Amino acid sequence: MVESVELPSRLGILPFRNKVLLPGAIIRIRCTSPSSVKLVEQELWQREEKGLIGILPVRDDADASAIGPVLSQGMGSDSGDRSSRVQSGASDSQRVDGKNHQEVIQWHSRGVAARALQLSRGVEKPSGRVTYTVVLEGLCRFTVQELSTRGTYYTARVSPSEMTKAEMEQVEQDPDFISLSRQFKATAMELISVLEQKQKTGGRTKVLLETVPVHKLADIFVASFEMSFEEQLSMLDSVDLRVRLSKAMELVDRHLQSIRVAEKITQKVEGQLSKSQKEFLLRQQMRAIKEELGDEDDEDDLVALERKMQSAEMPAYIWKHAQRELRSLKKMQPQQPGYNSLRVYLELLADLPWKKATEENELDLKAAKERLDSDHYGLVKVKQRIIEYLAVRKLKPDARGPVLCFVGPPGVGKTSLASSIAAALGRKFVRISLGGVKDEADIRGHRRTYIGSMPGRLIDGLKRVAVCNPVMLLDEIDKTGSDVRGDPASALLEVLDPEQNKKFSDHYLNVPFDLSKVVFVATANRMQPIPPPLLDRMEVIELPGYTPEEKLKIAMHHLIPRVLEQHGLSAEFLQIPEAMVKLVVQRYTREAGVRNLERNLAALARAAAVRVVERDQAVPLNKDVHQVSSPLLENRLSDAAEVDMEVIPIGADHEIPNPLRIASPLVVDEAMLEKVLGPPRFDDREAAERVISPGISVGLVWTAVGGEVQFVEATAMSGKGELHLTGQLGDVIKESAQIALTWVRARATDLKLASACESNLLEGRDIHIHFPAGAVPKDGPSAGVTLVTALVSLFGQKRVRADTAMTGEMTLRGLVLPVGGIKDKILAAHRYGIKRVILPERNLKDLVEVPSGVLASMEILLAKRMEDVLEQAFEGGCPWRLHSKL
């Protein structure tokens, strides 16, 4: 029997262009236009389960023929309603949705009332437009009596079009209808059986024929077939059950016949495929026979290879060599051992860019400078050197390229600088990693006599970029090694020498190749491991660490936008204030570069991403929806501009995706920092807390990852006058400790550290000097003044100033000698919050490289002798100097 549906007298109308929704069918639509969004919001969203809307088909005026009555309506305004009349035949043109579409459409006079099974609301980014995704179920047919507008969408006065209960019972008792019904079910069962064999589906659909009434089966089956818009309208207009079932019977039978025809075609195609496979097998056997007889003709491939070699524009002497090798290849059979290796070699000759170069545009120094400034913050010296090279290139295009070597701790932008140079020059970029390379063949290639030989990394890189003038980055050049297989650093001498790389010889290539047009850029963390001859061929540019102020600028302008983009966020979801970034720099990172800073910002972004996803919740309208299973229905999209639709198979569980909701952005504060990043790792009170007793001093050292603050601790105990050193110290720093102790003992009386009769400081006691962070190896001469200060503080029982750090090598006579890495050391002291730094007087020239902002916040003290260091290291000056002979 027909389900009773209480149809209201007036329904909101949603137009379906060239598409029909039949009773019992389920469809998913996405409403994006203002009129459809308004309709769904007022008629479905606000009324929840009680909401009903009318689905009314519309057709383009380009369609000449129309089936059934057509509705003509005059344009209604937003302020008032204008009624329409039902007519038969042609209709007047009108515009739908108020979008000022130029296409002319016609309303159909009969539609289907529908209810929402699921409804979700979303907001598109970044426009902020509200959209609705609705799953609709067709309920019953209706006829439009009057069409009008309400605001931006249409409403209609409707009347039911379905047969009454009495009429339905009378039809069901008709013998002709019973016979037609049985025939329909038999045809449908046959169709389902064919589909089950073809699609390997279950038998759930067969239950549909026994449980669902015939009048509903007609609409459900028809909704799953591909048919024209006119046929859909014809089914919609079939109010009489006999007519509807007859049309459905015709469509089901036609669909069954089309499947059978398709199966016959498939069987024919499979037969032809079997024949093709048989021919392929026979051809393979014929080819094997020819190979055994040596009659295989490989001439076509060799002709193509020769043509490719001719277009490579090789130099004349190399072309003669290539022709000689090609003639040898033509005389060989493909089965011979050296055939493949010789062919691969000739293909390499053809692929190399002998004369093919990147065409450089006219150099614009201003644009290049803007590009460098946008990619990197600070690094003024490096940028200036690149601009100078570009200026020389503009005056002399064939000028030799420099061999730049960027030396600095990790994370300061050495590799990305090389990429920016390539972008500024308009050239291709190729990176070659030399870290851990110990085989000379990685640079020069293997000789072709070896099995598995291949060209070196330089030639292979040029083959990949296919130009002879790229920017080539030799990454981690300080981490090459040497063993019995050779020394890669020595092989690089020829590569980086402008006088020799014009005729670079690769062992595999075996002919000279011109590398003079390549711009080489090398990177290293330290200069010490690089052999002096190789270092002499490069222009070294040091990239020290960043100051906290520079890190703050880099984070705000570069790191935060990149981190947000990598995590699918934007400023609408996460905001990191400048003050919080400053706290991250001060409390969670003490590195020369910005990698750890980026990792911490990424941790904050991940925490924000979790909160954004957890905040998103689906908005189902009705979870308990009775659905009927049918594998016949297919997903389809309508041609309507107003809504995007796809049919959902009955009985399938579909989750309607819900877009992310835009809420108030998450602003990072101190509480979130500690929750995500943990308690602060560093603070400015570390030096003051550690220098709390005599015998402790603060030194500055240089490492491969930048400058570091090094504490030196000394203590005395009963013993035999021995000196104990701990902390994984090298030979140089051990000698510095012995020199420091000797100097202090020699001046013990002058410094009032011992009386004249007891001048031996070590009598009856041992001295133990420890360098904390014992797991880290330490060496170098720059801790000399720090050791002396710690010993004087120990013997004199006077504490060293906690806000003072020092560096410098000392001699046995007390002279303070200059040391290296001054900028890195001062930046390290600045990161630790140290306010005073004692430097050798001869290092005054190195202060030019230190940022002015750092120098302004610190007091730099210069020392020529050890006595000057002691004068500045203690509060109120050295207390023994007034009584000493120094």
CA pair distance 666, 572, nearest whole angstrom: 8
Q: Indicate the burial class of 629 (C-beta count within 10 angstroms; 0-12, 13-18, 19 or more).
A: middle
DSSP string, 257-308: HHHHHHHHHHHHHHHHHHHHHHHHHHHHHHHHHHHHHT----HHHHHHHHHH
On whether the CB atoms of residues 627 and 585 are closer than 8 A, the answer is no
Residue 782: active-site member: yes
CA pair distance 162, 147, nearest whole angstrom: 20
- Cis amide leading into 126 (omega within 30): yes
CA pair distance 434, 62, nearest whole angstrom: 69
CA pair distance 476, 485, nearest whole angstrom: 20
Please list, in sequence order, all residues whose beta carbon lies within 8 angstroms of the beta carbon of residue 871, skipping any fewer than 6 positions away: 877, 878, 881
On whether the CB atoms of residues 785 and 838 are closer than 8 A, the answer is yes
DSSP string, 602-627: HHHHHHHHHHHHHH-----S-S----
Considering Cα of 100, then 102, then 103, then 108, what sign does the dihedral take?
positive
What type of residue is 121?
R
Query: Which residues make beta-bridge pairs with 85?
Result: 72
Catalytic residue, from 630, 782, 793, 823: name it.
Answer: 782
On whether the CB atoms of residues 760 and 746 are closer than 8 A, the answer is no
**Residue 238: its H or E element:** none
CA-closest candidate to residue 50, choices 112, 111, 115: 115
Residue with tokens 């499947």: 259
Q: Radius of gyration over alpha carbons of the chain, in Å? A: 43
Residue 453: active-site member: no
CA-closest candidate to residue 415, choices 546, 533, 525: 525
The dihedrals phi and psi of 757, each to the nearest 5 degrees, come to -85, -15
Count of CB atoms within 10 A of residue 456's CB? 24
CA pair distance 275, 312, nearest whole angstrom: 43
Please list, in sequence order, all residues whose beta carbon lies within 8 angstroms of the beta carbon of residue 31, skipping any fewer than 6 positions away: 37, 39, 40, 131, 132, 133, 134, 642, 643
The helix/strand/coil state of 127 is coil
| Whole-number Cα distances in Å, 571 to 563, 565, 595, 660, 677 | 11, 10, 22, 15, 21
Please list, in sequence order, all residues whose beta carbon lies within 8 angstroms of the beta carbon of residue 634, skipping any fewer than 6 positions away: 224, 647, 649
Convert 39-66 into a string of H (helix), E (strand) and C (coil).
Answer: HHHHHHHCCHHHCEEEEEEEEECCCCCC
What is the token pair recorded at 443?
């640079």
What type of residue is 815?
L
On whether the CB atoms of residues 161 and 141 are closer than 8 A, the answer is yes
What is the token pair recorded at 107?
């309303």
Count of CB atoms within 10 A of residue 261's CB? 10
Letter string b/e over residues 520-545, b meaning 16 or more CB atoms within 10 A of that residue's CB: bbbbbbeeeebeeebbebbeebbbbb
CA pair distance 90, 527, nearest whole angstrom: 88
| Whole-number Cα distances in Å, 536 to 277, 458, 496, 527, 751 | 66, 21, 10, 11, 47
Catalytic annotation, residues = 782, 825
